C-alpha cells in the first residue's frame, strides 16, 4: 500500500481530537467515517466541524464550496463495523487502557488484514495496544496536537513490532495532510507530554504552594519564556482530567516521583473542575 491508496479512513471517537482529525482528512479529500457510541455525540461533532469550517471560510482561507466538499467527505455512524472498508483506522477515544484494548480487539475482528491501525493516545504504550490486535507490524501511534486543524505536529510512535513500511506510509500521509511528522520512541508520554506535563504539574504545585497566583504564573511564562499561553491556561484548554491521566501514566510507567500529580490537580478533577469543557478550571469560563 502507498499513501495514494488511502481513500477511506475511519476515526473512532468524535470528541475534540477525533472531530479535528476528521476535519483535516476531509479537507484533504479523503472520505472519513466518524464513529462514536451515541448519535448525539456524532451530531455534536459534525456541528463542531461545520463551525470550524465556517471560521476558516470567514478568514478567506477556503471557499464556501471547499467547506461543502469537505463536509460531504464525512459520514457519521455509531457502528464500528463501518471500518471494514477503510485503509486506515485511527482511535481517538478516552485515555483508558482497558477501553482502548477492548476497542482494538473489536476492530481486529472487523477490518481486513491490510488495514493500518493508529492510536491518537497521548501517553499509553503503543506496544501494549498493538498486542490486542493480530497486526502489531501495522500498528502505530499517530498523536495529533490540539487544535488539530491548526497544529502542524504529529508525533509518530513506533511500537516494538511496528514495521518500517508502516512508519514510512503514515509519515507520508501526515505530510499529505499538511502536518510535520516527528518520530518518538514508545515511552510513557512520548516526547511532547514527557516535557509538557511536568511543566504544567510544576505550575500547579507553584500555585498550590502560594508561589504565585494563577494569573502571575501564566504571565511569567508568557512574558518571560515566550510561551503563547501560560501553563495553567493551557491545562484548562487540554482538560485537567486529561492532564491528570497522562501524569498518572508517566508516574506509573516510569516509576519516578517527579511525575507524581499535584494533589491540587487531583482535587480539582474530583470536584469536576476540568477546565474549559466544564466551565471551570484554573479560570472561570461560565461567563
Place 238 in a pLDDT band, splitting at 50, 70 and 90: very high
Among the listed residues 193, 201, 207, 278, the single catalytic one is 193
* 239-243: Cβ within 8 A, 24+ apart: 239/274, 239/275, 239/276, 239/277, 240/265, 240/268, 240/269, 240/273, 240/274, 240/275, 240/281, 241/269, 241/274, 242/95, 242/122, 243/197, 243/200, 243/201
**Can you give the pLDDT at residue 124?**
93
**What is the crossing angle of helices 231-238 and 240-254, to 10°?**
100
What is the per-residue pLDDT across 96-138, written as a single tens digit (0 to 9) for each? 999 999 999 999 999 999 999 999 999 999 999 999 999 999 9
Mean pLDDT score across all residues of the chain: 96
Altogether, the residues listed in the chain come to a count of 287
Residue 181 has pLDDT above 90, yes or no: yes
Residue 287 has pLDDT above 90, yes or no: no
Among the listed residues 52, 122, 123, 171, the single catalytic one is 122
| Mean of pLDDT values over 40-56 | 97
Specify whether 155 is catalytic: yes
- The cell for 284 is 472561570
Pairing of strands 153-158, 139-144: antiparallel
Contacts of 67 (CB under 8 A, 6+ apart): 50, 53, 54, 56, 57
DSSP 8-state class, residue 276 = G
Residue 69 has pLDDT above 90, yes or no: yes
What is the per-residue pLDDT across 243-265, written as a single tens digit (0 to 9) for each? 999 999 999 999 999 999 999 99
Specify whether 143 is catalytic: yes
Specify whether 33 is catalytic: no
What is the per-residue pLDDT across 206-227, written as a single tens digit (0 to 9) for each? 999 999 999 999 999 999 999 9
Among candidate residues 13, 7, 2, 30, the one with its CA nearest the CA of residue 177: 30
Q: Are 130 and 116 in contact (CB under 8 A)?
A: no
Q: Are 179 and 161 in contact (CB under 8 A)?
A: no
- pLDDT cut 90: percent of the chain above it: 98
pTM equals 0.91
Among the listed residues 52, 91, 119, 155, the single catalytic one is 155
**Can you give the pLDDT at residue 273?**
98
Residue 195 has pLDDT above 90, yes or no: yes
Specify whether 19 is catalytic: no
Among the listed residues 33, 52, 143, 201, the single catalytic one is 143
The partner residues of 185 in beta bridges, in order of sequence, read 158
The CA-atom distances, in angstroms, between 95 and each of 9, 150, 154, 242 are 21, 22, 18, 7
Amino acid at each position: 500500500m502507498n499513501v495514494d491508496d488511502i481513500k477511506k479512513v475511519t476515526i473512532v471517537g468524535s470528541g475534540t481530537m477525533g472531530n479535528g482529525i476528521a476535519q483535516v482528512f476531509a479537507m484533504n479529500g479523503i472520505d472519513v467515517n466518524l464513529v462514536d457510541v451515541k448519535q448525539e455525540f456524532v451530531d455534536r461533532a459534525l456541528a463542531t466541524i461545520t463551525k470550524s469550517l465556517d471560521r476558516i471560510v470567514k478568514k478567506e482561507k477556503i471557499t464556501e464550496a471547499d467547506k461543502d466538499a469537505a463536509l460531504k467527505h464525512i459520514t457519521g455512524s455509531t457502528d464500528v463495523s463501518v471500518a471494514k472498508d477503510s485503509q486506515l483506522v485511527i482511535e481517538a477515544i478516552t485515555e483508558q487502557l482497558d477501553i482502548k484494548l477492548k476497542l482494538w480487539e473489536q476492530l481486529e475482528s472487523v477490518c481486513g488484514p491490510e488495514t493500518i491501525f493508529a492510536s491518537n493516545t497521548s501517553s499509553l504504550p503503543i506496544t501494549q495496544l498493538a498486542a490486542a490486535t493480530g497486526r502489531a507490524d501495522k500498528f502505530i501511534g499517530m498523536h495529533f496536537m490540539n487544535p488539530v486543524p491548526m497544529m502542524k505536529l504529529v508525533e509518530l510512535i513506533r511500537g516494538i513490532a511496528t514495521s518500517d513500511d508502516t512508519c514510512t506510509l503514515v509519515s507520508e500521509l501526515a505530510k499529505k495532510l499538511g502536518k510535520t511528522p516527528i518520530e518518538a520512541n514508545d515511552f510513557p508520554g512520548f516526547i511532547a507530554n514527557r516535557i509538557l506535563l511536568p511543566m504544567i504539574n510544576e505550575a500547579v504545585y507553584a500555585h498550590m504552594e502560594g508561589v504565585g497566583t494563577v494569573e502571575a504564573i501564566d504571565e511569567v511564562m508568557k512574558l518571560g519564556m515566550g510561551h503563547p499561553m501560560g501553563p495553567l491556561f493551557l491545562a484548562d484548554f487540554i482538560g485537567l482530567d486529561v492532564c491528570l491521566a497522562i501524569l498518572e501514566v508517566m508516574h506509573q510507567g516510569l516509576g519516578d516521583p517527579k511525575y507524581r500529580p499535584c494533589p491540587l490537580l487531583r482535587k480539582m478533577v474530583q470536584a469536576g473542575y476540568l477546565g474549559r469543557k466544564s466551565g471551570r478550571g484554573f479560570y472561570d469560563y461560565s461567563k
